[in-house]
Structure 1
Amino acid sequence: MFFRTESFQQFIRSYPIITFLIGLHLFLWLMTDFLGLPIFTQLERTALGVNQYIAQGEYWRLVTPIFFHAGFTHALFNSFSLVLFGPALEQMLGKTKFIVAYLGSGIIGNVGTYLFGPDIYAHLGASGAIFGLFGIYLYMIYARKDLIDQANAQVVLTIAVIGVIMTIIRPGINVYGHMFGLLGGVLLAPIVLARARPYSPYRNAPTRKSYTDTDIGFDPNRWNKRRLPWRKFLPKLLWGGLIILVLLGLLARLV
């Protein structure tokens, strides 16, 4: 459930929402922190969750902080968390309900930050939305045991406990966003899990036509052979280039 065995292309094809979110995280980090393009740095300032500005009517700041991050490590950690814990839920819920659960949890986390945080408090990051995913898993453990086995339930409980402890003891963490995001996931879980089916790693696997002995002269790959080579490798080239840019940005921060 939480161990990825797909190839790079299979992951992109099977989990398009997770892929998009990770790409967006890294893209916005590249445009703001790494390249420092003025239009994107201004966009980040406008997207920043600032309680004082929200109180003045800038309510979009309850949503926009979900997509921006405070530095490379922050973006990388949240993206890695999505890779581990997002795919099973995207498959079980479907694209629309997954988006509702993810954004809904993040917004609830930001609303909690606004209601209980200081007026001058400012925050960025998808952590509240990701904690919302943990909230959905916790609901499964106690109310929908048909959707998660005991081994994976233990993994979720262990990581959730560690996450809550780290949220409390580490400085600079938006405790309100994390805790209310977790609560948001629990509250949204009964709605989004209403028709959910257990996760299966083979559900999105590509199927092949089974051929009998009478098909011996038929080449099932004949259409693939007509594709241009660059089309086959284009996704790997694009993501490989993005990864290289991310590594360069990390090295630039270390120098």
Structure 2
Amino acid sequence: MFIRNERSIKEFKQLYPIVFWVIIIQLALWLLTGFLQTPLGTMIENWGRGVNFYISQGEYWRLLTSIFLHADLMHVLFNSFALVLFGPALEQMLGKMKFIAAYLGAGLVGNIATLLLGPPIYAHVGASGAIYGLFGIYVFMVAFRKQLIDQSSAQIVTVILVIGLIMTFVNTGINAYAHIFGFIGGFALSPLVLNNVRPFSPWIRHRVVDDGSVKFDPNRWHKKQRNKKLFKNGLWIFLGILIILGLFSRLL
């Protein structure tokens, strides 16, 4: 379910346009606000980041715009990588509009909880609440819609969720409200967005060609096995790095 078989960025864009453009937008915004630190970037950051005081004064757009802004390079890279791993299957299953609604809806729930429960001057940015909302949808499938998710994917979701929750409370500087309530928001939205959806199937390999047609790939089985092994190895390495970084930052 989380195995990426696309041969190029172009093919990934054709298959999962919403995930692709969300990642492009948040990377571009980080370049403007963090790396280049342009006057335009400074204006965007001041106008878009979530600040509880300003939101309480009526600047409600910050509840959504803050989802696309990030604090630093590692922040945007981790969230982008998580979206590449866990977004495509849901975009294919839910369709574009439901996926957008689930992603932004979960992020919005997390940011509203931050507003209501966080300090009045609390400032926050990041897509973590929205991404935890995706985890919430997967966990709902594991619990109540087992026909929509295979056992291997269910185990991966469970392990990553447990590690993510541990990191939420171990690491400093994390918006725990967004993580927890983003997850709850995604879980709560699941009965609506998962209505009349089909399971994601990685066993049938298709390739999108330049003319927009879909071509059957006869070597799909061998590619699937190879990609599955590479994915599992890469996933465990990534999780190990996350744990090490989280523990190291806790000691600083």
TM-score range, shorter chain: 0.7 to 0.9
The C-alpha deviation readout for 1:77-120, integer Å capped at 9, x for no partner, is: 00000000000000000000000000000000000000100101
Secondary structure of the structure 2 residue equivalent to 1:191: helix
Question: Could you say which residue in structure 2 is the equivalent of 1:2?
Answer: 2
Aligned-pair identity (%) = 58
Shift of 1:204: 6.0
More off after superposition, 1-10 vs 155-164:
1-10
Q: Give TM-score scaled by structure 2 length.
A: 0.80
Instruction: Indicate if the aligned counterparts of 2:207 and 2:215 stay in contact, CA closer than 8 A.
Output: no
Alignment length, in residue pairs?
209
- After superposition, residues 23-102 of structure 1 pair within 5 angstroms as 23-102=24-103
Q: What's the counterpart of residue 219 of structure 2?
A: none
Partner amino acid for 1:6? E
Aligned counterpart, 1:127: 128
SS of the aligned residue for 1:63 comes to helix
**Stretches of 4+ aligned residues off by more than 6 angstroms:** none
Contact (CA 8 Å) 1:48, 1:64: kept in 2 or not? yes
Task: Tell me by how many angstroms 1:5 deviates.
Answer: 1.4
Q: Which is worse superposed, 34-43 or 20-29?
A: 34-43
Structure 1 residues 204, 122: CA separation in 2 closer, same or farther (over 3 Å shift)?
Answer: farther
Offset from partner CA, 1:47-68 (integer Å, 9 cap, x none): 1111111111111111110000
Structure 1: gaps (5+ residues): 210-255
In the TM superposition, 1:110-121 aligns within 5 A as 110-121=111-122
What does the per-residue CA deviation read over 1:205-253, in whole Å, with 9 as the maximum and x for residues that have no partner?
Answer: 43249xxxxxxxxxxxxxxxxxxxxxxxxxxxxxxxxxxxxxxxxxxxx
RMSD: 1.3
Larger Cα-atom Rg: 1
TM-score w.r.t. structure 1 length? Answer: 0.80
In the alignment, structure 2 segments of 5+ residues that lack a partner are 209-213, 217-252
Note the C-alpha offset of 1:31. Answer: 1.2
Aligned residues of 2:102 and 2:133 also touching (Cα < 8 A)? yes
Letter matched to residue 51 of structure 1: N
